Chains A and B, each alone.
Chain A
């Protein structure tokens, strides 16, 4: 299958290794990966902060960039959720009916990584090797808007060498919430603290999730505390193989470029 990769603005700019890992994984599974050069952002941050009018041209750009794509995959539950639940809505509200319809059609072909792997490609064992103790945080939008269910855990359980430990209070929000983390920084930090306490209680080396933004939040907190636990995106774990794990990089992403 020819898969169009939507890197998302945050991953592309700040954590490119996550998009890289997604591409490597899909190629290893025998699919052609294209990265449409016109892509920027889904518009979620604008919509969720109240700039829904300003989001409309961003949505238009997104729809233009991915026009003709057979399937779009993004390593981000919340961006995919925004594509599914918000893009057409803001276009319609702005009176852009044609754009809304195009956005809806594109949303129907857009998948979050774990859903794409399990539901579209029908794979659970992607042939990965990741010999670490890992805990999984089910991010809110993957859990409640996309209903990814236990797909990520099924993928993780099939990874050779990986020990999956249950995260207490897993379904509680980590406190990121986009601009919430800045506008309500104190409350966000209080939520983060409790999430980190639960992560650390698992004694996992790695906390993983399907959203780079939540991981940047949890990882930023863990790093500030000088904790030894890192955050690694699900795509990076699934992209790792025996050949790709460097012996001196115990929990570092296997595909680092």
Chain B
């Protein structure tokens, strides 16, 4: 069943950051030429791969946890409506207010209104993929509200007027020297003798934001998990900026995709083991905050939860593709992906890059709005192996390729070729004839063992970097038949 068929709307155009402005191969071509980018990514991803492998290897029951994580998420999706209603009831009982947003524009409008109601003209933000996805900062800015990103990597991206390129570490494409340069250029009170030592850079961020945390009246966060049966929200972080935002301001607004739910409190015992080891390669991240509504004398007195659809229900309608809603945004798949490692995240166009982005973004927007992404993979399968909830990303990539092909109303030259080839391959007699045609290549080769380096398209896409052997005089099956003729 496909979402198009059911008429469930996907994420709207013109708002948020789920669509690139050019196809992946084109964006990738440019990124591949950036030697600094490739060095930075190669260094960072190989570091994190080793760390992840070490802490995952420590757990004798990793595969059992993975299977449980997968099953819990599948069970969540099967009863998503009921769990959301339960969450809403529990959060409301505990003094929170729940809002529902059909899409990015509606979520932005809700948050903007909530901030305006407090009279604040600035907010502090915890790193959140959902708010990146909907373009909340731009929406707030348009309403005269400044959003301070407080996560170090988000801060680097914001100060550098850059775009995030990784789910966990949005500034992964920048190295320490580049970060130092951004800080020196953009932080008003920075120590001019700032070096590129990571600890010093972290200290500079601390000094830059400390005052803002203490004066902020409103904070905006995402959520890693929400527990339906208790109404508990969870934010998993490292720096303490999350705790600052979740604790100090009077008003907390949390924007959460509707798929972030788990049914029971006990389910957290699985995900709090899977997530840190998969994301930062730590046994546990430095800080995990869990809160349920509001608590007198501890933390914000006002709590709003915005539940966001924005293409998620459309994704849920696809029986194969819905598995991407199990994603816990650990980014392990990015770190092992040979494509991501070389192109970086910007080439994917969406805030969700890498293997998970290549299956998530096209489903949130509808495949035709991100048609090049399902092809941005060699199907090597490394992503599936590391996924803490065992999402079969390669199979979903292949499924979305088919969805794209089947959505075409006009016959493309590629489709003509594949249909003709399929016809030949469905009948061995036709196939033997087709095989003989490859022997025309022998004319081009003029007796040399390889074909000329310049062939017409699409073969040129192969021969620009690799030789192609000259087709043999005789196929194996022809030779075998000749030898075994009675």
B472 within 8 A of A: yes
With contact pairs A186-B25, A192-B465 given, residues A177 and B402 touching in the complex (Cβ less than 8 Å): no
With contact pairs A37-B428, A48-B401, A177-B379 given, residues A184 and B25 touching in the complex (Cβ less than 8 Å): yes
* Bound complex: CA A84 to CA B424 (Å): 23
* Bound complex: CA A209 to CA B387 (Å): 26
Interface string of B399-429 (1 = CB under 8 A from A): 0011111100000001100110111111110
B177 within 8 A of A: no
B378 within 8 A of A: yes
- Chain B CB within 10 Å, residue with most, of A7, A13, A55: A13
- The answer to whether B405 touches A12, judged by C-beta atoms less than 8 angstroms apart, is no
* Bound complex: CA A47 to CA B395 (Å): 10
B475 within 8 A of A: yes
Size bracket of the A interface: 35 or more
**Residues of chain B within 8 A of A192, CB atoms compared:** 465-466
Interface string of A171-190 (1 = CB under 8 A from B): 11101111111111111111
Interface string of B431-468 (1 = CB under 8 A from A): 10001001000000000001001000010011011111
> How many A-B contacts if CB must be within 8 Å?
199
- The answer to whether B422 touches A187, judged by C-beta atoms less than 8 angstroms apart, is no
Interface of A, helix, strand, loop or mixed by DSSP = helix
With contact pairs A187-B28, A192-B465, A224-B453 given, residues A14 and B378 touching in the complex (Cβ less than 8 Å): no
B376 within 8 A of A: yes
A20 within 8 A of B: yes
Which residue of chain B has the shortest Cβ distance to A19 in the bound complex? B476
With contact pairs A173-B382, A188-B378 given, residues A14 and B428 touching in the complex (Cβ less than 8 Å): no
Which residue of chain B has the shortest Cβ distance to A85 in the bound complex? B395
B272 within 8 A of A: no
**Residues of chain B within 8 A of A50, CB atoms compared:** 374, 398, 401-406
B100 within 8 A of A: no
- The answer to whether B425 touches A41, judged by C-beta atoms less than 8 angstroms apart, is yes
- The answer to whether B461 touches A224, judged by C-beta atoms less than 8 angstroms apart, is no
Partner of B467, one of A43, A85, A223: A223
- The answer to whether B378 touches A140, judged by C-beta atoms less than 8 angstroms apart, is yes
Taking the closest CB of chain A, its distance from the CB of B403, in whole angstroms, is 8
Taking the closest CB of chain A, its distance from the CB of B210, in whole angstroms, is 42
Partner of B422, one of A13, A20, A55, A140: A55
- The answer to whether B428 touches A51, judged by C-beta atoms less than 8 angstroms apart, is no
Taking the closest CB of chain B, its distance from the CB of A105, in whole angstroms, is 20
**Residues of chain A within 8 A of B89, CB atoms compared:** none
**Residues of chain A within 8 A of B76, CB atoms compared:** none
**Residues of chain B within 8 A of A19, CB atoms compared:** 476, 480
A202 within 8 A of B: no
Interface string of A51-80 (1 = CB under 8 A from B): 111110110110001000000000000000
Taking the closest CB of chain B, its distance from the CB of A98, in whole angstroms, is 17
- The answer to whether B419 touches A54, judged by C-beta atoms less than 8 angstroms apart, is yes
- Chain A CB within 10 Å, residue with most, of B378, B406, B428, B450: B378
Binding site for A on B (CB under 8 A): 24-25, 28-29, 32, 338-339, 342-343, 374-382, 384-385, 395, 398, 401-406, 414-415, 418-419, 421-428, 431, 435, 438, 450, 453, 458, 461-462, 464-469, 471-472, 474-477, 479-481, 484
